[in-house]
Structure 1
Amino acid sequence: MWVKRVKTPFFDRSGRDRTSPHYVVRSAKLCALCIVATLCCASGAFFVPNTALIPLLLINAALLGHGRYLGGRVRGLLLLFATQLLITSMLYLLLHGVERLHEGGLAVTRIMLAIIPGWWLSIVCTPQRIGEVLSWCLPRKWAFVMAASFSLLPYMAKETREIYQMQVMRGANITAKALCYPKHWPELIYCVLYPLLIQLLKLSKQMALAAKLRGFGSHKRPTHWPD
């Protein structure tokens, strides 16, 4: 079998410790196949004609279902899709009118079809397996950076949610109702995106320092953490 069942701690809203099953790819070769499939699906979202979008939609729906079954959260993807669709539709209405509104929806759909495979890959493959596969064709430092970026996705999603909730509690006009008005968009950038960028830069510096203290880069063939 190429999947492994792992018990990881999970805390519900009441604070009780529960376990949720997660399945991760154990083999580096199968992880490489997942990466290739992800690249094909993500690039196909931009290059396939409109007539071939229906099969691609079915494939991404299967990836969504599989990722949700393994414990992935679909709520963030749905929120991203709704936000992009709202902003893009308003821009198309202002610039082109109702006649080309369907083109905005199609553009947002293609963007989401490019995002879903990467989301699925971050669930089924661990960062150390991704880094091991990327080190086959990339310099080890580049492979480390890309694998670390995948591992940061859940953390950054949590940080974004916490920053957003704190800013709403402080009275910022960044609720879903307030963001329907373009005059509140700069406040979203100032209250959420700027603090998130600062947090990301701080975390990147900490990771670089940790890698340096552990002697990363001192060996030509670094080892990878086993599952």
Structure 2
Amino acid sequence: MPVSHFSRSQATPISSRSLWFAGTAMVLALLLSSAAFFVPQVYLPWLAGIDALLVLHGVINKGNLGGLLRYILLQLLFTMVLYLAIHGGNQVGQGVMAVARILLALLPGWWLTSTVSAEAIGELLSKVMPSKWAFVIVASINLLPFMVNEAREIYQLQLLRGARISPKQLLNPRNWSELCYCVLFPLLVQLLKLAQQTATAARARHFGHKSRRTHWRPGQSENGNK
């Protein structure tokens, strides 16, 4: 990924209406994600209905459910294997419920990133926290799609090398360490490298010289004038 990808955001105005929607969406996502872990089980169907409406709204806004669905399937697979290995078949229902709560906690965050621009989130966060922290959060959000693609490429390359990390092979917990060694560790190295490139791009454009600068404002010239 080019370093310049993080050098500036899209040069579009952020209206007060967009900021209001971003703030409301962030609060709603936080409340719904928290409720997924704390509400009694009897209220989970109501929470699932609300999340279903958010998913529909996110899909209408061209949100991509593919990565989320793959994560859910992997989470369900690993959780079921753990419950079967530790408790046998007696507590499989509890494992399914745990995965359901994790899913309900993830969906509001997916909806938030699908419907609210990173620029609006950064502008809003910069009003309640230091601008450098807001920049880190927005840069992390922008990193997610790239890291998903990077993880997929690493995984496919390691499969070609003969690593025992296919879905069928991962049913055996003994192969989980190979997944960490062949996929997760290289992905972590790539993430650290990309974080360093992002920091270099920010320093090259004098980020932090002004206390309230978190993203590229409309009307600025391409020569980097602040």
- Compute the TM-score of the two structures, normalised by the length of structure 1: 0.83
**Whole-angstrom CA distance in 1 between matches of 2:121 and 2:45:** 29
Total equivalences in the alignment: 204
Within 5 Å, give how 1:56-67 maps onto structure 2.
56-67=47-58
Report the equivalent of 1:142: 133
Is the deviation greater in 195-204 or in 140-149? Answer: 140-149
SS of the residue corresponding to residue 91 of structure 2 reads helix
Within 5 Å, give how 1:23-102 maps onto structure 2.
27-102=18-93
Pair 1:168 & 2:159 matched = yes
Normalized per residue, which structure has more strand? 1
What displacement does 1:29 show?
1.5
Paired AA for residue 218 in structure 1 = H
**Whole-angstrom CA distance in 2 between matches of 1:52 and 1:46:** 11
Contact 1:67 1:120 in 2 (8 A): yes
Is the deviation greater in 168-177 or in 195-204? Answer: 168-177
Paired AA for residue 161 in structure 1 = R
Paired AA for residue 171 in structure 1 = G
**Whole-angstrom CA distance in 2 between matches of 1:223 and 1:185:** 40
**Whole-angstrom CA distance in 2 between matches of 1:97 and 1:181:** 15
What displacement does 1:70 show?
2.4
**Whole-angstrom CA distance in 1 between matches of 2:210 and 2:161:** 49
Structure 2: give runs of 5+ residues left out of the alignment.
Answer: 1-13, 219-226
Report the equivalent of 1:7: none
Deviations 1:38-96 (A, max 9, x none): 11111111111111100111122222222223222222222211211122122222322
Report the equivalent of 2:200: 209
Name the % identity. Answer: 49
**Whole-angstrom CA distance in 1 between matches of 2:192 and 2:185:** 11
Within 5 Å, give how 1:123-202 maps onto structure 2.
123-202=114-193
What displacement does 1:191 show?
1.1
Structure 1: give runs of 5+ residues left out of the alignment.
Answer: 1-23
- Compute the TM-score of the two structures, normalised by the length of structure 2: 0.84
**Whole-angstrom CA distance in 1 between matches of 2:42 and 2:65:** 26
What displacement does 1:155 show?
1.0
SS of the residue corresponding to residue 171 of structure 1 reads coil
